[in-house]
Amino acid sequence: MPAYTLQTNGAVCPFPLIDAKNAMQQLNTGDDLIIGFDCTQATDSLPQWAAEDGHEVVAFDRTGDAGWSITVRKGA
Amino acid sequence: MILTGLLLGAVLGYVLQRSRFCVTGAFRDLYMARSARYFIPFLLAIAIQAIGVAALTGAGVIAPEAASFAPLAVIGGGLLFGVGIIMAGGCATGTYYRAGEGLIGSWVALIFYALFAAVMKYGPLGGFTEAARARTVGATTIQETLGVSVWVPTILFSALVAALVVRQVRKNAGKKAVRLPARRTGIGHYLADVAWNPWVGGVLLGLIAIAAWVLSTASGRNGGLGITTPSAKIVTFLTTGDVTLVDWSVMLVLGILLGSFIAAKLSGEFRWRVPDSATILRSAGGGVAMGVGAALAGGCTIGNSLVETSLFSYQGWVSFAAIMLGTWGAAWFFLMRPQKAAAQNRPAPVLSPAG
């Protein structure tokens, strides 16, 4: 299944979440969206959004100081 | 003893950073995401503080004086402040703690906020602010109008918040969000690794607000948590050298920067982060609106929406509503409207196949 990356570094909240939602709309069920971000609050809002909208979080980890990456698989 | 301000500010900054507590987000998401995940914990903080303040006032430990109500200044200032915090991406405390995390955009917002609060309070527009805030009506607090004890609104509000908390806890149940892998074990895991949930943030914020009343009163300043006046005082002190301006509240806001920096550094969440020029400009504009708005309204999301509300003053609750409406209007204008336009005109965010 295809995977796509969305780099949001430098964007402050709520923009990483807004962009992630937008990007997700272009994907098909089962596609992976790999979101890179450096807004601390998004460590809360992105996994929360995935849980609420029924997407699976395949990976979620730090990429360095104040940098994170989350891979969200689009749910049905 | 103004140094207790630095200490309590540091605790506040630490708590806000670890719990990602953002009043702007709490107000904004109530409208944009129909989510009360941070809004109800914020109400809980008000209720906890209201109970503590009423008890301590009854015991004679503190003697809070609610602000006189100047409707036009409070409504106009509150709306402007609400718009400003959406543009700046955080309220006054939010901007302080994000500055401590290394966000350059927050430093820009913070500098313009403090500068314009000083312009409005101690500078050329001081007369205007004073005149606007002097147009008061007789009523000051809800309990005064009703002719009842402060415990009546305190208990009624606390009961309402308790019901809302139960509802929100039920709503949150079953929606478990994925967490980052642990990097520390033992106590370090809780202190500087795992993010604290909004309930922890709200409860601690309420307790810190109570402690602020006690410690500030002991230092000779009759007041609770406050952000705008000390920010204006810092600017005025730095430009005039008037040391009498440096009080407990100045220490408090400096403490927030320090505490948030320590929390972020220990948790691997500190890094200087430079935004694009559009974000810098928006942050600067937001800072100006925040400084002017908070000076007119007599407080920010802390001074009014958290502290004056716990005294059940009209200034507190009217400004709470005005700030919230301001954030909703600005969220529509700056966040939702461009989204809708973008969906029609602009190509969606750039995606590239991975690997």
Mean pLDDT of the region B125-143: 95
Query: Cα–Cα distance between B204 and B211 in angstroms, integer?
Result: 10
Sign, Cα dihedral of B346, B338, B23, B233? positive
Which of the four pLDDT bands, split at 50, 70 and 90, describes residue A60? Answer: very high
Q: Answer whether A11 touches B (CB < 8 Å).
A: yes
pLDDT, tens digit (0-9, with 9 covering 90-100), for A3-49: 899 998 888 888 899 999 989 988 999 999 999 999 999 999 999 99
Contact A61 B175 (CB under 8 A): no
Cβ atoms of residues B4 and B248 within 8 Å: yes
Which residues are A32's β-sheet partners?
A3, A73
Classify B320 as helix, strand or coil. helix
Q: Residue B115 above 70 pLDDT?
A: yes
Q: Residue B346 above 60 pLDDT?
A: no
Chain A residue with minimal CA distance to B266? A65
Query: Tell me, what's the pLDDT at B355?
Result: 66
Mean pLDDT of the region B177-191: 90
Mean pLDDT of the region B214-241: 97
Q: Residue B340 above 80 pLDDT?
A: no
Q: How far is A76 from chain B (nearest CA, A)?
A: 17
Q: Answer whether A63 touches B (CB < 8 Å).
A: no
- Examine the residue annotation and report whether A13 is marked as an active-site residue of this protein: yes
Does a cis peptide bond (omega within 30 degrees of 0) precede residue A14? yes
Cβ atoms of residues B8 and B227 within 8 Å: no
Query: Tell me, what's the pLDDT at B345?
Result: 66
Q: How many CB atoms lie within 10 A of CB B65?
A: 10
Query: Tell me, what's the pLDDT at B317?
Result: 97
Mean pLDDT of the region B8-23: 96
Q: How far is A50 from chain B (nearest CA, A)?
A: 7
Q: Residue B48 above 90 pLDDT?
A: yes
Q: Residue B344 above 80 pLDDT?
A: no
Contact B268 A62 (CB under 8 A): yes
Strand ranges for chain B from DSSP E: 352-353
Q: Residue B347 above 80 pLDDT?
A: no
Which of the four pLDDT bands, split at 50, 70 and 90, describes residue B214? Answer: very high
Cβ atoms of residues B49 and B312 within 8 Å: no
Q: Residue B341 above 90 pLDDT?
A: no
Mean pLDDT of the region B133-150: 95
Please provide the average confidence, as pLDDT, over all residues in chain B: 94
Out of A32, A61, A65, name the one closest to residue B181 (CB): A61
**A56-64/A32-37 β-pairing:** unpaired
Residue type present at position B205: L
**Residue B182 Cα distances to A49, A74, B40, B43, B185, angstroms:** 21, 25, 28, 30, 7
Q: Residue B339 above 80 pLDDT?
A: no
Mean pLDDT of the region B81-109: 95
Query: Tell me, what's the pLDDT at B331?
Result: 95
Which residues are B103's β-sheet partners?
B273
Calculate what percentage of chain B has a pLDDT beyond 70: 97
Q: Which of A13, A23, A34, A58 is catalytic?
A: A13
Judged on CB neighbours under 10 Å (0-12, 13-18, 19+), B187 is exposed
Query: Cα–Cα distance between B92 and B88 in angstroms, integer?
Result: 9
Out of A2, A12, A60, name the one closest to residue B89 (CB): A12
Q: Residue B204 above 60 pLDDT?
A: yes
Q: Answer whether A62 touches B (CB < 8 Å).
A: yes
Query: Cα–Cα distance between B211 and B213 in angstroms, integer?
Result: 5
Q: Answer whether B180 touches A (CB < 8 Å).
A: yes
Query: Cα–Cα distance between B191 and B187 in angstroms, integer?
Result: 6
**Joined tokens for residue B231:** 């920010």
Which residues of B are less than 8 Å from A2 in CB distance? 353
Query: Cα–Cα distance between B287 and B99 in angstroms, integer?
Result: 13
Which residues of A are less than 8 Å from B89 in CB distance? 12-13
Contact A52 B353 (CB under 8 A): no
Contact B20 A40 (CB under 8 A): yes
Q: Residue B352 above 80 pLDDT?
A: no
Q: How many CB atoms lie within 10 A of CB B58?
A: 12
Q: How far is B236 from chain A (nearest CA, A)?
A: 30
Out of B177, B348, B353, name the one closest to residue A48 (CB): B177
pTM for the full predicted model: 0.94
Out of B25, B268, B348, name the one closest to residue A65 (CB): B268
| CA angle in degrees (0–180, nearest 5) for B195-B199-B204 | 90
Q: Which has more pLDDT, B51 or A10?
A: B51
Q: Residue B343 above 70 pLDDT?
A: no
Chain A residue with minimal CA distance to B95? A12
The enclosing H or E element of B81 equals helix B71-88
Query: Cα–Cα distance between B308 and B146 in angstroms, integer?
Result: 18
Query: Tell me, what's the pLDDT at B286?
Result: 97
Which residues are A33's β-sheet partners?
A4, A72
**Lowest-pLDDT range, B16-20, B111-115, B299-303, B344-348?**
B344-348
